[in-house]
């Protein structure tokens, strides 16, 4: 992979100009990832293409596999969002026309000539979501697309980049008229505390998350039980002293959690003419897509009224899946070694939630910094593998997965601290044995 000499901003401008040249009288196919970042990227692109009065189709994918790429119309102008950086050679061989890619995942190969790619990995490696890149691209197509900035921020929050706002993202915050304030990083901030804490998974609070008795005990301890016959306050209703008591109570149950992890920026976005906590909206989008309702997720981003109620119902079901997934992990036998843990959930956790569960565990106080968490879940005749690093000091999760997948076959992608793979179910034990061997070997090398 060769670093480019021009800036990321200049590359966005150049690729947008190429796109305008190429889309004349052509039908466009948009392929996007199914998480919040991918869904918001797709929604931004849909709105931009509608303004340009272009004919297009959209497909939302869990992953980009060779077999799927080969089913795509090779003569259409194609743009990939929030995926494809690991599949450039296959894409280049399949398509007869120029292809466009807007992504932020790691690139491990040379970029073929006919692929126009926007990816910060080729520039300064700054942390920016695909939704923000897609927004900046669409703003180049038409400056009037500033109204799409709020979707870019929604995707950014979904990809956990809320504490990585750089100069590009700051401009997007201004474009979207996003309200920003400091607060406790538990959501939703507008619901009663007992409900918020029961379903709180980020941060995961041992003895509280998913345990209503533990929730009520915590609230009694910090003197936040409601008056007789009254309702629990919401986070937004707590005064400074009450907030301090709650933070202290949570930190006593999460001894490795710091104030910095508990407190941070809360972004309020106007959707359906109402200011909402971006973290909750992002979670709703993610829930819809991961439970097979990506159409509802896109409609929610497009502010189609009927989608909101449906998304809320799906989100409630999704939160129950998270709680049951965390309980399964707590009770099941795990493969553990120095600085790694492998959870083979088989069909006990939905494949679309394997990454979510791994992320929650990586942000909990259960494991030391530098621990690699690998979660495996069945997906048709395949296995979805999700890897996460606890903290940001340690080995590259993506490199370790890539070594194993190169040997046994499959697909791999992602970042240094959050990566995933898809392998055949027939390779299940071989994968576990090789992965364990590689994790132990890496430790010896350090």
Whichever domain contains 386, its CATH number is: 3.10.310.40
* Cα gap 21→217, rounded to integer Å: 63
pLDDT of residue 446: 44
Choose the final residue of a domain: 326, 354, 371. Answer: 326
Start-to-end CA span in the chain (Å): 25
Residues 6+ apart with CB under 8 A from 313: none
Same domain, 14 and 156: yes
Same domain, 136 and 191: no
Same domain, 148 and 258: no
Residues 6+ apart with CB under 8 A from 252: none
pLDDT of residue 349: 94
**Averaged pLDDT for residues 1-17:** 86
Same domain, 229 and 309: yes
Q: Is the pLDDT of residue 270 over 80?
A: yes
Q: How confident is the model at residue 163 (pLDDT cuts 50, 70, 90)?
A: low
Same domain, 308 and 404: no
**Averaged pLDDT for residues 273-290:** 90
Same domain, 155 and 54: yes
* Cα gap 436→430, rounded to integer Å: 10
Tell me if the bond preceding 89 is cis, omega within 30° of 0: no
Q: Is the pLDDT of residue 443 over 80?
A: no
* Cα gap 30→83, rounded to integer Å: 11
Choose the final residue of a domain: 279, 299, 326. Answer: 326
Chain Cα centroid distance, residue 169:
17
**Nearest alpha-carbon partner for 383 in 159, 142, 62, 127:** 62
Same domain, 187 and 305: yes
pLDDT digits (tens, 9 = 90+) for 115-149: 999 999 998 777 899 999 999 999 999 999 999 99
Q: Is the pLDDT of residue 5 over 80?
A: no
pTM attached to this predicted model:
0.81
Q: Is residue 17 part of a domain?
A: yes
Query: CB atoms < 10 A from the CB of 381, how many?
Result: 8
Provide the domain limits for residue 401: 333-445
**Averaged pLDDT for residues 240-253:** 87
Same domain, 380 and 233: no
Q: Is the pLDDT of residue 154 over 90?
A: yes
When comparing pLDDT for 392 and 231, which is higher?
A: 231
Same domain, 161 and 25: yes
C-alpha torsion sign, points 146, 147, 148, 149:
positive
Tokens of 199: 């379903």
Q: Which residues of 89-124 are buried (b: 16+ CB within 10 A; e: fewer)?
A: ebbeebbeeebbbbbbbbbeeebeeebbbbbbbbbe
pLDDT of residue 236: 79
Q: How confident is the model at residue 60 (pLDDT cuts 50, 70, 90)?
A: very high
Alpha-carbon separation of residue 389 from 256, 339, 433 (angstroms): 16, 10, 20
Per the DSSP assignment, residues forming a β-bridge with 59 are 31
Choose the final residue of a domain: 177, 192, 213. Answer: 177
Q: Is residue 2 part of a domain?
A: no
Alpha-carbon separation of residue 136 from 105, 141, 177 (angstroms): 17, 9, 16
C-alpha torsion sign, points 77, 79, 83, 87:
positive
Q: How confident is the model at residue 99 (pLDDT cuts 50, 70, 90)?
A: very high
**Averaged pLDDT for residues 79-106:** 92
Same domain, 307 and 351: no
* Cα gap 289→294, rounded to integer Å: 4
Q: Is residue 314 part of a domain?
A: yes
How many domains does the chain fold into?
3
**Range list of β-strands (E), 185-316:** 263-271, 274-277
pLDDT of residue 260: 64
Q: Is residue 149 part of a domain?
A: yes
Same domain, 206 and 319: yes
Q: Is residue 92 part of a domain?
A: yes
pLDDT digits (tens, 9 = 90+) for 367-399: 888 999 999 999 899 999 999 999 888 889 999
* Cα gap 446→442, rounded to integer Å: 7
CATH of residue 27's domain is 3.90.1640.30
Same domain, 30 and 159: yes
């Amino acid at each position: 992979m060769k670093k480019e000499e021009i800036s990321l901003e200049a590359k966005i401008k150049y690729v947008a100009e190429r796109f305008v040249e190429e889309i004349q009288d052509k039908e466009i196919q948009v392929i996007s990832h199914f998480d919040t970042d991918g869904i918001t990227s797709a929604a931004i692109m849909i709105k931009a293409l509608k303004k340009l009065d272009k004919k297009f189709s959209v497909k939302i994918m869990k992953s980009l596999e060779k077999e799927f790429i080969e089913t795509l119309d090779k003569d259409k102008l194609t743009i990939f969002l929030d995926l494809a950086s690991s599949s450039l050679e296959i894409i280049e061989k399949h398509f007869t026309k120029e292809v466009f890619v807007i992504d932020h995942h790691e690139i491990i190969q040379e970029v073929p000539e006919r692929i126009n790619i926007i990816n910060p990995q080729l520039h300064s490696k700054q942390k920016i979501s695909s939704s923000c890149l897609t927004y900046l691209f669409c703003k180049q197509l038409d400056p009037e697309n500033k109204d799409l900035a709020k979707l870019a921020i929604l995707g950014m929050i979904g990809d956990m980049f809320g504490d990585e706002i750089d100069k590009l993202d700051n401009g997007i915050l201004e474009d979207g008229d996003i309200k920003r304030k400091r607060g406790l990083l538990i959501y939703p901030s507008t619901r009663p505390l007992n409900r918020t804490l029961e379903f709180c998974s980020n941060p995961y609070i041992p003895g509280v998350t998913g345990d209503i008795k533990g929730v009520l005990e915590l609230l009694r301890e910090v003197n936040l039980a409601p008056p007789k016959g009254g309702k629990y306050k919401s986070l937004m209703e707590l005064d400074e002293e009450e907030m301090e008591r709650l933070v202290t109570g949570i930190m006593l149950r999460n001894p490795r959690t710091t104030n910095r992890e508990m407190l941070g920026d809360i972004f309020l976005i106007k959707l359906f003419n109402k200011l909402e906590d971006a973290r909750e909206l992002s979670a709703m989008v993610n829930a819809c897509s991961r439970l097979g309702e990506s159409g509802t997720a896109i409609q929610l981003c497009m502010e189609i009224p009927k989608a909101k109620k449906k998304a809320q119902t799906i989100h409630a079901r999704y939160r129950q899946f998270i709680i049951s997934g965390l309980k399964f992990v707590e009770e099941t036998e795990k493969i553990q070694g120095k600085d790694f843990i492998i959870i083979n959930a088989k069909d006990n956790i939905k494949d679309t939630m394997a990454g979510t569960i791994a992320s929650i565990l990586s942000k909990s106080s259960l494991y030391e910094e530098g621990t690699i968490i690998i979660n495996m879940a069945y997906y048709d005749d395949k296995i979805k593998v999700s890897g996460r690093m606890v903290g940001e000091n340690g080995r590259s999760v993506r490199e370790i997965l890539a070594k194993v997948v190169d040997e046994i076959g499959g697909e791999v992608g992602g970042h240094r601290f959050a990566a995933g793979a898809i392998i055949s179910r027939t390779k299940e034990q071989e994968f576990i044995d090789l992965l364990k061997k590689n994790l132990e070997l890496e430790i010896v090398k350090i």
